[in-house]
Amino acid sequence: MAGYVLKIVIEDTHPPVWRRIVIPERATFAELHEMIQIIFGWSDSHLHEFFIPSESIRIGNDEDAYLYNYFKESETLVENFFPEHKWVRYIYDFGDEWRHKIIYEK
């Protein structure tokens, strides 16, 4: 199976909290969101968004978003951004703002 190895680190945790996963290269960001929810034990009860800081790109599930550089996660494949971008940020729970750094390893 072809895929990507990603290391996902919850930022600003000491000691670091992280997981390494292998995902299919044809996975969508919606599927990656579901995987993150499972591996970190989140309850999927808060808003979330992916962000690519180097290009100010946002990827989320807001069906009404018409922002410049906004992509719908259910339609956007991870392979469109990895390996070109070495990392992507995932924010879960906009109140507590759990920031995850998703690092492309291979």
pLDDT, tens digit, 9 for 90 and up, residues 36-95 = 999 999 998 899 999 998 788 888 887 666 667 888 899 999 999 988 889 999 999 888
Residue 9 confidence (pLDDT): 98
Confidence band for 2, pLDDT divided at 50, 70 and 90: confident
Q: Do 22 and 5 touch, CB atoms closer than 8 A?
A: yes
Residue 1 confidence (pLDDT): 57
Chain centroid to Cα 54, Å, comes to 15
Residue 53 confidence (pLDDT): 84
CA 58 – CA 53 distance, rounded (Å): 9
- Residue 32 reports pLDDT greater than 80: yes
